[in-house]
């Protein structure tokens, strides 16, 4: 095992990784930009290295500075977390060339799976089902029309180098195709500096279900089951769970999808933790869409249900150990549901709302896990993505997990900034959510579709009373922590 590891990331995932390292008695080196000097990760890590100014391009994306910091601090390996450089083959290569260990898959596997058209070809060669479509970037409108007609409308345009919904367009008719290609291609160029787009058949009302795989550098690979990720807003996941409610309808689905995922990962020469993403249609047929060659944001859901520590296994595998778990050893127990707590305002079209956290009460109690990267008094910077924390609940079944999650959300108080806690309370109270049967379209226009929540005159009266009294006696009102005369005991 390594003695010291550098974490090339920030926020909640940096904190999660520091904890994982400490559990294995490995020292941690955090990195930080000017905006993150006082972050929780820097506070918690054993050592910390400054990278540069706040913009990611001058700090968390600077390969040279990160490798330099690792060498200066005597780290033997680098964990990239998710986002930033985690799926950058050039970074993985540079780390290895510097004589350090990259905690993740080989650079060649990142490279292959990073180009969606190449990933599709690998999946097809491995015998995994893919969404019908072209495997090559569109070169002419005539060729695109021919392909679209052969697939049958509606079709979906996607960016070859893309992700996160950028460069993606639904097309329903021949006449829309030309403009849609131009739009999608220019959006893709701006986002990924690569304007190539390709066509797929649109899977109507799909569910997004992904499979966690884990493999060592000695040829052994297993899957750890699925995560249901259909609840998305603007193509970003907001709630994830395991098991997928689909498994209740067809218990063989996990085994079939798991086997397909392992085949794809093997074909890519994959090792370490990775995630194979699928769409599942109304007939429960599944199609490979892409592979995420890193630890996922939502990995705690799998950890709670399988009892396996994914970060610990990433470290063991990267240090050359054998993966000692066989497929038949993996057991799934109970149900876990995760909410991504974002600094955004559900009452104002989900606009970001960074700033100083003046109040923070974090939930706890039976079945609750909180992976957070913030503390009371910290100023959430506006330069990075808005994920503050992941709140995860485990229960012996989905109903219990959801009930615990709702209870924890009601305990969670984040003041000074705005966040989406109330949005999750509304989702968790929604009858369709509770049935477990929804598609990726479920959260589109969630509030527009919803009737106004029933009035609660008593709660409104409490709010009015507290506002008036706190205004009248400011001494007893919002107390800044420093001036507070209360003590937590």
**Which residues are the active-site residues?**
294
* Residue closer to another protein, measured from CB, 249 or 469: 469
Residues 270-299 that bind another protein (CB under 8 A): none
Quote helix, strand, coil % in the chain, to nearest 5.
40, 25, 40
* Residue closer to another protein, measured from CB, 328 or 458: 458
CA torsion through residues 354, 355, 359, 363, sign = positive
Q: How far apart are CB 8 and another protein at their closest, in Å?
A: 19
Whether residue 235 contacts residue 167, with contact meaning beta carbons closer than 8 Å, is answered with no
Q: How far apart are CB 162 and another protein at their closest, in Å?
A: 15
Q: How far apart are CA 414 and CA 38, in angstroms?
A: 19
The string of DSSP letters for 282-347 reads: TT--EEEEEEE-S--TTHHHHHHHH---HHHHHHHHHTT------GGG----SEEEEEEEESEEGG
Q: Applying CB under 8 A, what is the total number of residues that bind another protein?
A: 55
Return the residue of 117, 145, 425, 437 that touches another protein, per CB under 8 A: 425
Q: How far apart are CB 376 and another protein at their closest, in Å?
A: 9
Q: Among the candidate windows 40-48, 219-227, 278-286, 462-470, which touches another protein by CB under 8 A? A: 462-470
Whether residue 79 contacts residue 312, with contact meaning beta carbons closer than 8 Å, is answered with no
Instruction: Please measure the distance between the N-terminal and C-terminal CA atoms of the chain and give it in whole angstroms.
Output: 39
Residue 8 main-chain phi, psi, to 5 deg: -90, 60
Q: Is 446 helix (H, G, I), strand (E, B) or coil?
A: helix
Return the residue of 139, 451, 471, 489 that touches another protein, per CB under 8 A: 471
Window 316-355: contact mask with another protein (x via CB under 8 A): ---------------------------xxx-xx--xxxxx
Q: How far apart are CB 234 and another protein at their closest, in Å?
A: 10
375 touching another protein, by CB under 8 A: no
Return the residue of 414, 439, 440, 443 that touches another protein, per CB under 8 A: 414
Q: How far apart are CB 422 and another protein at their closest, in Å?
A: 5
| Beta bridge partner(s), residue 201 | 155
| Residue pointed to by tokens 């706040």 | 54
Q: Among the candidate windows 38-46, 221-229, 288-296, 463-471, which touches another protein by CB under 8 A? A: 463-471
* Residue closer to another protein, measured from CB, 52 or 415: 415
53 touching another protein, by CB under 8 A: no
Sheet of 169-171, strand order: 169-171, 155-159, 197-201
Whether residue 211 contacts residue 276, with contact meaning beta carbons closer than 8 Å, is answered with yes
Q: How many residues does the chain have?
A: 489
Which of left, alpha, beta for 436 (phi over 0: left; psi -120 to 50: alpha)? left
477 touching another protein, by CB under 8 A: yes
Whether residue 127 contacts residue 263, with contact meaning beta carbons closer than 8 Å, is answered with yes
CA torsion through residues 49, 53, 57, 58, sign = negative
186 touching another protein, by CB under 8 A: no
Window 382-411: contact mask with another protein (x via CB under 8 A): xxxxx----------------------xx-
Q: How far apart are CB 246 and another protein at their closest, in Å?
A: 29
Q: Among the candidate windows 25-33, 269-277, 292-300, 475-483, which touches another protein by CB under 8 A? A: 475-483
| Residues near another protein, by CB under 8 A | 343-345, 347-348, 351-355, 358-359, 361, 382-386, 409-410, 413-416, 418, 421-422, 425, 453, 456-472, 476-481, 484, 486, 488
């Amino acid at each position: 095992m390594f003695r010291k590891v550098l974490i090339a990331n920030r926020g909640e995932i940096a904190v999660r990784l520091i904890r994982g390292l400490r559990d294995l008695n490995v020292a941690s080196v955090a990195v930080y930009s000017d905006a993150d000097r006082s972050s929780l990760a820097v506070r918690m890590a054993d050592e910390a290295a400054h990278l540069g100014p706040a913009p990611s391009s001058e700090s968390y994306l600077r390969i040279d500075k990160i490798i330099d910091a690792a060498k200066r601090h005597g780290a033997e390996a680098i964990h990239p977390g998710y986002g930033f450089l985690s799926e950058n083959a050039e970074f993985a290569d540079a780390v290895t060339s510097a004589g350090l260990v990259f905690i993740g898959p080989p650079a060649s596997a990142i490279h292959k799976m990073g180009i969606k058209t190449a990933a599709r070809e690998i999946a097809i060669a491995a015998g995994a089902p893919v969404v019908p479509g072209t495997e090559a970037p569109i070169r002419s409108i005539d060729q695109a029309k021919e392909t679209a007609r052969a697939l049958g409308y509606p079709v979906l345009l996607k960016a070859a180098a893309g992700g996160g919904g950028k460069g993606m367009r639904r097309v329903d008719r021949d006449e829309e195709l030309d403009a849609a290609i131009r739009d999608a291609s220019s959006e893709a160029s701006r986002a990924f500096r690569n304007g190539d787009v390709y066509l797929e058949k649109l899977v109507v009302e799909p569910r997004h279900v992904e499979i966690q795989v884990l493999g060592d550098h000695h040829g052994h690979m297993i899957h750890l089951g699925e995560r249901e990720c259909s609840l998305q807003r603007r193509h970003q996941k907001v709630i994830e769970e395991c098991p997928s409610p689909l498994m209740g309808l067809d218990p063989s689905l996990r085994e079939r999808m798991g086997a397909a995922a392992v085949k794809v990962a093997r074909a890519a020469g994959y090792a370490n933790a990775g995630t194979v993403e699928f769409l599942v249609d109304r007939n429960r047929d599944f199609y490979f869409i892409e592979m995420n060659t890193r630890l996922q944001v939502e990995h705690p859901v799998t950890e709670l249900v399988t009892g396996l520590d994914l970060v610990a296994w990433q470290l063991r595998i990267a240090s050359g150990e054998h993966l000692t778990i066989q497929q038949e050893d993996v057991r799934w127990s109970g149900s876990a549901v995760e909410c991504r707590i974002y600094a955004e305002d559900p009452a104002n079209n989900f606009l970001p709302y960074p700033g100083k956290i003046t109040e923070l009460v974090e939930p706890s109690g039976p079945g609750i896990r909180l992976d957070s990267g913030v503390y009371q008094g910290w100023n959430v910077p506006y330069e990075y993505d808005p994920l503050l924390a992941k709140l995860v609940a485990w229960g012996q079944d989905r109903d219990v997990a959801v009930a615990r999650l709702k209870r924890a959300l009601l305990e969670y108080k984040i003041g000074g900034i705005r966040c989406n806690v109330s949005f999750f309370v509304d989702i968790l109270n929604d009858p369709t959510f509770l049935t477990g049967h929804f598609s990726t379209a479920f959260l589109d226009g969630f509030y527009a579709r919803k009737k106004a929540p029933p009035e609660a005159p008593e709660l409104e009266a409490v709010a009015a009373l507290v506002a008036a009294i706190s205004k009248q006696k400011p001494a007893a009102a919002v107390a800044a922590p420093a001036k507070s005369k209360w003590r937590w005991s």
